[in-house]
Structure 1
Amino acid sequence: MPKKPTLFALACLLAATVPAHAQGYPDKPVKLQVPFAPGGTTDIIARVISEPLGRHLGQSVIVENKSGAGGAIGAAETARATPDGYALGIGTVSTTAANPAINPRVPYNPKADFTPIINMAATPNVIAVHPSFPARDYKGFIEVLKKNPGKYAYATAGTGSIGHLQMELYKGMAGASVTHIPYRGSGPALNDTVAGQVAMIFDNLPSALPFIKDRRLIPIVVAASERLKDLPDVPTFKEVGLAPVNRMAYYGIVGPKGLPKDVVDKVHAAARKSLEDPAVRRRIQDTGSFVVGNTPQEFTQQIAAEFDVYKKVVDTAGLTPD
């Protein structure tokens, strides 16, 4: 008769069937993919969280930038990654809602191809103009645009970015005609707007705020739940009668689909601990963002809801990626 396996042999067999991720994840550095160029809000938030996140995980978290196609190139790399927790990404409204809503060629399904882990921050958006623009407030701004249809252009982080779709939504509701100039991220878009090569930008507040504080950009209107302490004289879209445009961005951590629950739980717990650190909260809040820190389930629902909103915007306005 064949010998019965010993307890030691059974233990070895069970150990061999336990996924590697459950045996001490992480045991090497973790990549955090930023799907936009350095200098934009996504990059800022990623670099604020990377060091404390790595400290709580017990391994370095290395931020890598891969921009292009409105964030789709970097997001697709995260979606295609091995679901072992070593290749994570920053999920934004642009990459998980706006861009997929407008571009059927985006090589991932935002509702199915990611594992949402945590939404770290909510961020107001702002329309800001170069100081040479002939208006300094919203009333003057819309008057200039209506008197000069097609004369001015606006910069964004790329086609399909949140700035693009929110500005197109704004244009349709306000009856304004402005040309879209897409860039490979907020950083390059801001550089050209600050240099006066583009008249205005629709951007996330954290990346635009330093230029606003230096008076190199003039804020006109913000997408926020209320007026901001840093911009007390700037109205929200709701105040100017355009409540549907009054949507904030989000910045969360996502992994590829099929990410094991124990890995999700560990990254989520490390991110939550990082967001509880007063210094980290202050750095995020100093950008003009609000700390969130929701659950994976809540972030999953948020992504699905935002995609549905922007898909309706695209379909209603007949927008295309080209």
Structure 2
Amino acid sequence: MKRRELLAAVPALAAAVLPSWTAAQPAYPASPVKVLVGFPPGTATDVAVRAVSEQMARRLGQPFIVDNKPGAGSNIAAKAVATAQPDGYTVFAITIANVINAAFPGANAVDPLKEFKPITLIGNVPNVLVVHPSLKVANVAELIALAKARPGSLAYASSGIGTSPHLSGEQFALMADVKMVHVPYKGSTPAVTDLLGGQVQLMFAPASTVLPHVRANKLVALAVTSPRRTSGAPDLPTLDELGLKGFDTSVWMGLVAPAQTPSSVIGKLRTAAHAALDSSELQAIYKAQAIDVLKTSDEEMSRFLRSEAARWSKFVQHTGIKPE
């Protein structure tokens, strides 16, 4: 075959070969999907993600393997996913911690707006304002009055500098115009342990972490930090209801994939996740852990992430909080 004839034949050859090659590609997912969580097992995020992942696996016919990689406010897991192959086989459990991490000037954190493609939000668990019984306050008004009468004498625990419980305390102090001492811990477990022992007087902590201690009368719950009351503790008022208008530091969580993941793959993951969130089995697990169901489109989640990033960037700049 002459060179000119060979060149002329290339398009036809490509057309003949391409359909068979395309047809040979396996439908997604053809192998297990890994879901990275930036917090230890047993946390609210871990519980929510495992419940969703189990249901998604049933619907998509492949295992969804939850891999806990705690550290650096979940930034270690975030970086692992941001740099993974964008093929839909590595997914990240994004939370409020990731937009807070990125809000610190000069932070070596993953930019959740640029490095991920949204799948869907999956849940929200409010922080609960709890106090040690020895403080002898029955409501938020009494706590504020006590803090004003004894400025700088009340200590509040958190799971670390820059975490949602920490910023809950900072926002409370700012809006209530009180001075308190922040005592950071390396995680919620040691923080709650010292709160139960009376070494610190109060804490903002995820509902699933502290409500069992409230029910056992070891801690006193005063309010939740979400805009609306939570189904897990419907009798607890919101701080917004109690006069701290706009107070919201609830711990939201969702699923994202590397930024270049194909939209068709994202769509399959979203459809499976939404079906999971609609299941009565998952909703029972959520209710037991005081987690409220969230469900969003890609555009709704994108708008939400942009709003959260702007809100926390402004707050960090205003308060001058420095990362660990």
- TM-score calculated relative to the size of structure 1: 0.88
Q: Which residue of 1 aligns with 2:117?
A: 115
Q: Which residue of 2 aligns with 1:277?
A: 279
The answer (yes or no) to whether the contact 1:165–1:310 under 8 Å persists in 2 is no
Q: Which residue of 2 aligns with 1:46?
A: 49
Does the C-alpha gap of structure 1 residues 287 and 189 become closer, same or farther in structure 2, counting only changes over 3 Å? same
Q: Which residue of 2 aligns with 1:74?
A: 77
Please, which of 48, 54, 58 is the counterpart of residue 55 of structure 1? 58
**309-318 vs 66-75, which moves further:** 66-75
Pairing 1:210-229 to 2, within 5 Å after superposition:
210-228=212-230
Aligned length: 319
**146-155 vs 74-83, which moves further:** 146-155
The answer (yes or no) to whether the contact 1:119–1:299 under 8 Å persists in 2 is yes
List runs of 5+ in structure 1 lacking aligned partners: none
Greater C-alpha radius of gyration: 2
Pairing 1:99-114 to 2, within 5 Å after superposition:
99-102=101-104, 104-114=106-116
Per-residue CA distance 1:228-254 (angstroms, 9 max, x = gap)? 455455331112211122343311001
Please, which of 162, 178, 181 is the counterpart of residue 180 of structure 2? 178
1:79 maps to amino acid: A
Does the C-alpha gap of structure 1 residues 136 and 180 become closer, same or farther in structure 2, counting only changes over 3 Å? same
**272-281 vs 195-204, which moves further:** 195-204
List runs of 5+ in structure 2 lacking aligned partners: none
**299-308 vs 71-80, which moves further:** 71-80
Does the C-alpha gap of structure 1 residues 104 and 190 become closer, same or farther in structure 2, counting only changes over 3 Å? farther
For residue 281 of structure 2, give the secondary structure of its aligned residue in structure 1. Answer: helix
For residue 303 of structure 2, give the secondary structure of its aligned residue in structure 1. Answer: helix
Q: Which residue of 1 aligns with 2:236?
A: 234
The answer (yes or no) to whether the contact 1:123–1:205 under 8 Å persists in 2 is yes
Per-residue CA distance 1:53-105 (angstroms, 9 max, x = gap)? 1111211111122222222222222222221112111111121x222213531
The answer (yes or no) to whether the contact 2:232–2:288 under 8 Å persists in 1 is no
Q: Which residue of 2 aligns with 1:205?
A: 207
The percent of aligned pairs where both chains have the same amino acid is: 33
1:66 maps to amino acid: K
- TM-score calculated relative to the size of structure 2: 0.88
The answer (yes or no) to whether the contact 1:70–1:185 under 8 Å persists in 2 is no
- Deviation, 1:295, is 0.6
Q: Which residue of 2 aligns with 1:321?
A: 323
- Deviation, 1:118, is 0.3
Please, which of 245, 248, 256 is the counterpart of residue 258 of structure 2? 256
